[in-house]
A and B are shown apart, each in its own frame.
Chain A
């Protein structure tokens, strides 16, 4: 199973865990229906749609309501620290959680006592905590955008908000920022750096870049980073080699944009609708071999 951990922007939403289904442009879990706008529900929706086409595993989510105060996140951290060893997961993706280094330090040991070590993917707030814990090396993937890569490259910043000004997050500096992030031990084994060019990095070396198809408006659309991480999770769960999974995820995410022809006002559900078509197209053409750095 593919495990996904995150939050729902509703304080009344209880802590739930269970198999997730896609139903009428919404996700269903344990009797709850959750609209898909952005954040963890968008990640889950992308995984579900990709798993349909790519033969991926069932999706099992661990969710709680949190609107930023952090109480829900702490309840979920506590649950995970106590119960994760009871689960058998091929992939485990951590997403929108209140970044908390102390709680991260309790959850990671729980992961390490699971009977089968899952492929570990961290994005959003949990990636911030993983970096600040100094334990980034335990993860298989981080999925930063270029601004978050600058945060990983800054050995002192506790949050992207404090990334120091001299570490400018410009697209052309990505290779330098990658080198600094690995140099400080703040990167996972693999990175998928999301930007106008997507960089797929393995052990500090750029294994592939993905530049096409390109759609400028995607940068403004909330949730496109979430869908990329959802696609990556699904393809890792479907058994693709890690670099191939990352290339396929980056291409498929871009193809959803090419197929939807979005504007900066487009909402991410319109892109999620295009995932089956995008993934089927790429799989039919076996268009997921890693492209050497510098190619598309």
Chain B
């Protein structure tokens, strides 16, 4: 839990019909969010990961947005996997969207992809991860230690080892690299 949401957010509430058709699943930490997202997407639900509105004072700094009508089904599925959320609340305010722009830099023999504040670089020939840079949360050095020197296919995934928003951004960069290579 980061405890980021202290500063006043100037965004005004959105009570549109479209907004209240969605709900938020609030979890204790980012690792649980990532596990729940993977589980629900594999099961075919249309869910997305977003930043929580400021009035949510518990949990971590990622929430899962889901169709509110599916609440019972989704909760049952999560309970079966021991992933029960801390809170389930309807969406009543604008949500922060994660950065969704990727930047790719070609160094000739190496390819680097950036997502938000995280960068991952591989050697094109061997597909070996040669560097990870950027970020500021304490799982970044830990993830770099675990992933550098491994091949892209065999490396541990940031979604499995990471705990923070920097870890999640690295997972997105990793997925983009997989898509491109």
Q: Which residues of A contact B (CB under 8 A)?
A: 7-9, 37-40, 66-70, 72-73, 96-103, 105, 123-129, 132-134, 145, 147-148, 151, 155-165, 168, 216-217, 219-225, 263-267
B175 within 8 A of A: no
Which parts of B113-155 form the interface with A (CB within 8 Å)? 114, 116-117, 119, 121, 123, 130-142, 144-145, 148
Report B94-120 residues with CB < 8 Å from chain A CB.
96-101, 105, 107, 109-110, 112, 114, 116-117, 119
**Which candidate, B64-72, B73-81, B83-91, B166-174, is the interface stretch facing chain A?**
B166-174
Asked if B100 and A165 make an inter-chain contact with CB atoms under 8 angstroms apart, the answer reads yes
State whether A156 touches B165 (Cβ < 8 A): no
- Could you list 26 A-B pairs, sorted by A, with CB under 8 Å? A66-B138, A70-B1, A72-B138, A96-B137, A96-B140, A99-B137, A101-B5, A101-B7, A102-B3, A124-B135, A124-B137, A125-B136, A127-B136, A133-B6, A156-B10, A158-B61, A160-B169, A161-B116, A161-B117, A161-B168, A162-B99, A219-B119, A220-B112, A222-B132, A222-B134, A264-B121
Q: Is B159 an interface position by the 8 A CB rule?
A: no
Decide if B96 touches A100 in the complex (CB within 8 Å).
no
Contacts of A132 in B (CB 8 A): 4, 6-7
Tell me the smallest distance from the CB of B55 to a CB of chain A, in Å: 14
Residues of chain A lying within 8 A (CB to CB) of residue B117: 145, 147-148, 151, 160-161
Complex: A116 Cα to B167 Cα, angstroms: 37
Question: Quick one: given A145-B117, A162-B98, A165-B101, are A124 and B136 in contact (CB under 8 Å)?
Answer: yes
Name the B residues within 8 Å of A217 (CB-CB): 107
Residues of B within 8 A of A156 (CB): 9-11, 96
B2 adjacent to chain A (CB < 8 Å): yes
Interface hub of B99, B100, B121, B163 (most chain A Cβ within 10 A): B99
User: Most chain-B Cβ atoms within 10 A of its Cβ — which of A160, A220, A225?
Assistant: A220
Q: Which residue of A lies closest to B101 (CB)?
A: A165
The answer to whether B4 and A96 touch across the interface, beta carbons within 8 angstroms, is no
Chain B nearest CB from A272 CB (Å) reads: 15
Given A68-B137, A69-B163, A158-B5, also A220-B119 (CB < 8 A): yes
Q: Is the CB of A123 within 8 A of B119?
A: no
Closest-CB distance, A158 to chain B (whole angstroms): 4
Asked if A161 and B133 sit within 8 Å, CB to CB, the answer is no
Which of these, A68, A133, A158, A160, contacts B139 with CB under 8 Å?
Answer: A68
Contacts of A72 in B (CB 8 A): 138
In the complex, how many angstroms separate the beta carbon of B27 from the nearest chain A beta carbon? 14
Q: Which of A126, A127, A263, A267 has the most CB of B within 10 A?
A: A263
Asked if B139 and A67 make an inter-chain contact with CB atoms under 8 angstroms apart, the answer reads: yes
When distances are taken between beta carbons in the complex, the residues of chain A under 8 Å from B2 are 70, 98-101, 158-159
Contacts of A9 in B (CB 8 A): 138-139, 141-142, 145
Shortest distance from the beta carbon of B81 to any chain A beta carbon, whole Å: 20
Query: Which of B11, B97, B112, B145 has the most chain A CB within a 10 Å cutoff?
Result: B145
Interface centre among B6, B10, B61, B163 (most CB of A within 10 A): B6
With a CB–CB cut-off of 8 A, which chain A residues contact B140? 38-39, 68, 96
Partner of B138, one of A37, A98, A129, A263: A98
Residue of B whose beta carbon sits closest to that of A10: B142
Docked CA distance A266–B98 (Å): 30
- CB A127 to nearest CB in B, in angstroms, measures 7
Please, which residues of chain A bring their CB within 8 A of the CB of B156?
none
Q: How far is the CA of A89 from the CA of B98 in the complex (A)?
A: 39
Q: Which residue of A lies closest to B139 (CB)?
A: A68
Asked whether A162 lies within 8 Å of B141 as measured between CB atoms, the reply is: no
Contacting pair B133 A222 (CB below 8 A): yes
Residue from the list B6, B10, B101, B168 in contact with A102, Cβ < 8 A: B6
Q: From B4, B110, B132, give the contact of A158 (CB < 8 A).
A: B4
In the assembled complex, the Cα of A7 lies from the Cα of B164 at a distance in Å of: 15
Nearest CB in chain A: distance from B41 CB, A: 19
Which A residue sits closest to B54, measured CB to CB? Answer: A158
Contacts of A266 in B (CB 8 A): 131
Check if B59 is an interface residue, CB within 8 A of chain A.
no
Write out the residue numbers on chain A whose beta carbons fall within 8 Å of the beta carbon of B1. Answer: 70
Which residue of A is nearest B114, CB measured?
Answer: A147
